[in-house]
Chains A and B, each alone.
Chain A
Amino acid sequence: MSGGVEIGVRVVSIEQATPTVKRFSLAARDRSPLPVFSAGSHVVVAMDADDRRIKNPYSLIDRSADGSTYRIGVLRTPQSRGGSVFMHDRVEVGSELTITMPVNLFPLNRTGRKHLLIAGGIGVTPIYAMAEELARQSFAYEIHYAMRDAAHGAFADELVARHGDKVRLYRDDCQEVIAVDRILPHQPLGTHLYVCGPEGMIDAILKGGRAAGWPEENLHAERFLAPPGGSPFALTLAKAGITTEVRSDQSLLEAIEAAGVDAPFLCRGGACGQCETTVVSCDGELVHNDHFLSDEEKASGTKIMTCVSRLKGRELVLDL
């Protein structure tokens, strides 16, 4: 089973939140209520482009009170493989998309006594949902939100309106940075930290957490990777007996799906481990881009995460 049950949705409204971020409200095409989700969940949105089907994971911002709509926030990233550009340029009110059931790889730890939410840029989308849930349940929390400048703070006004002085904003253009070495050392025992944002920011925050003596159990991050492109290569699916090509703008998983094989996946961002596939043989070098396999597993050359990783070489044979 790959990706689970799908829900047909229609775009009911679009809001240009910042010059580069749009927020989309999605309602089920059959008008039934959308499933309740836990804060930190994402859905995989399938978009039918002219030549291919693009699937990208997006964190859920919220679900309307009557359950009829979800909101997602999409940053336009022109250098990626086209999903966010498609959402920005081709999707209009009334457009039909397909989403998976919500999956949570970034849940709140409810045994914690306090929660520190740290967001950078578009990484604010799961953080927004988590803050709502913490406020609703009267947990102790703080929000630290870094943005390029005031115009790029897609959720700054809403967060401040809802959470008041629990929110601290940081603007890159004012040289304001999240001072982890000042925030982390004095938090009460039992505090959990959640960070979502650009790769470099996540690494810096987690490094600061470890330096402050925080155990790994209390440090949580979500990083969805856009699968990077690369050189094309030949792909053989041993069980299915199919040979095809992975184009330079295609991920391995997308090529497998285009060949008509129902391969396992869940997050499509290198985080969850669902798409782990056995490598039968490869003529070339495996390029591992995921955060799931251990360094030893990557070095062994026997496993690959098809959603974000690929081959630099001539041919890859998978046990599919």
Chain B
Amino acid sequence: MLVSNIKSRPVYGGLKVDVAARRHLVAAEGEGALAVIDAFGAHPEALARTTLLYAAGGSAGEDHAARLAAFRPDDLFVMPSQPTLITRLNVILNTATMGTRLYAAGVEGFIGSVVAAGMAHGVDQASIRTEHRGSLARRVQCVHCKGMTENVTVSPVTCSHCGIPLLVRDHYSRRLGAFQGVSIDAETPGDVPPAEELYA
């Protein structure tokens, strides 16, 4: 069911600390905290110039906030949810200066939201460092009704807004931070193959 070889499928290069940066602005979600601990554990000198935002939700797993606090970054914001984290991130991006490097770690939907926030503030997508951790669950946009369905692990999936059964494609929108879902039974209504667990 996976439709591959699609160029827009994001590639995550890993959370490497850019030692040339003057400021590190790190957004992590769920298991993404472990990527932060791995990357910045190797560069403790960078922590004094690091602002860390963390939300435990999203991917299943434990809350890593205490471990991140023990890292003693310059600033740590533990946020109750991904949307509140993105709101806080936008406030920081608004007054950030050049020399600030943006990092994102966690599930794909979260990385997509952070990258979209960075791009909206003029940050080139290529200079945002990303690492995928945790569930493979996707944010899927129904191309028919434009509704978003979060945490999709199967394909086909039923659109949570209009109810059309959707084939989840690798076709990805950076602006929306979402994969595209297209009607799977448009030609033969009702002919819907069984859902496969592809993005657990």
Residues of the A chain whose Cβ atoms lie less than 8 Å from the Cβ of B119 = 111
B93 touches A (CB below 8 Å): yes
Q: Report Cα–Cα, A277/B66, bound state, in Å.
A: 58
Chain B contact surface mostly: loop
Q: Please, which residue of chain A has its CB at the minimum distance from the CB of B127?
A: A215
Residues of the B chain whose Cβ atoms lie less than 8 Å from the Cβ of A7 = none
- Within the complex, what minimum Cβ distance (angstroms) separates B24 from chain A? 10
With contacts defined as CB atoms under 8 Å apart, how many contacts are there between chain A and chain B in the complex? 63
Query: Which stretch from A20-28, A92-100, A159-167, A183-191 is at the chain B interface?
Result: A183-191
Residues of the B chain whose Cβ atoms lie less than 8 Å from the Cβ of A53 = none
- Within the complex, what minimum Cβ distance (angstroms) separates B91 from chain A? 13
Residues of the A chain whose Cβ atoms lie less than 8 Å from the Cβ of B126 = 215, 217
Query: Which stretch from B15-23, B71-79, B135-143, B160-168 is at the chain A interface?
Result: B15-23
Chain B interfacial residues counted at CB < 8 A: 19
Are A191's CB and B121's CB within 8 A? Answer: no
B96 touches A (CB below 8 Å): yes
B37 touches A (CB below 8 Å): no
A314 touches B (CB below 8 Å): no
A141 touches B (CB below 8 Å): no
Are B96's CB and A214's CB within 8 A? Answer: no
Question: Which of A109, A114, A185 lies in contact with B22, CB distance below 8 A?
Answer: A185
Q: Please, which residue of chain B has its CB at the minimum distance from the CB of A113?
A: B122
Are B97's CB and A187's CB within 8 A? Answer: yes
Q: Please, which residue of chain B has its CB at the minimum distance from the CB of A192?
A: B122
Are B97's CB and A188's CB within 8 A? Answer: yes
Question: Which of B18, B99, B121, B123 lies in contact with A212, CB distance below 8 A?
Answer: B99
- Within the complex, what minimum Cβ distance (angstroms) separates A154 from chain B? 29
Residues of the B chain whose Cβ atoms lie less than 8 Å from the Cβ of A212 = 22, 98-99
Question: What is the 8 Å Cβ interface bit string for chain A, positions 161-195, against chain B (1 contact, 0 not)?
Answer: 00000000000000000000000111111110000
Q: Report Cα–Cα, A311/B22, bound state, in Å.
A: 43
Are B99's CB and A213's CB within 8 A? Answer: yes
A52 touches B (CB below 8 Å): no
Are A214's CB and B122's CB within 8 A? Answer: no
Residues of the A chain whose Cβ atoms lie less than 8 Å from the Cβ of B121 = 113, 189-190
Question: Which of B20, B22, B23, B122 lies in contact with A111, CB distance below 8 A?
Answer: B122
Residues of A within 8 A of B (CB): 109, 111-114, 184-191, 210-218
Q: List 22 A-B contacts (CB under 8 A).
A: A109-B124, A112-B122, A185-B97, A187-B98, A188-B97, A188-B122, A189-B98, A189-B121, A189-B122, A190-B98, A190-B122, A212-B22, A212-B99, A213-B21, A213-B22, A213-B98, A213-B100, A214-B98, A215-B126, A216-B127, A217-B124, A218-B124
Across the A-B interface, the 8 shortest Cβ-Cβ residue pairs = A190-B122, A213-B99, A215-B127, A113-B122, A217-B124, A213-B22, A189-B96, A213-B21
Residues of B within 8 A of A (CB): 18, 20-23, 93, 96-101, 119, 121-124, 126-127
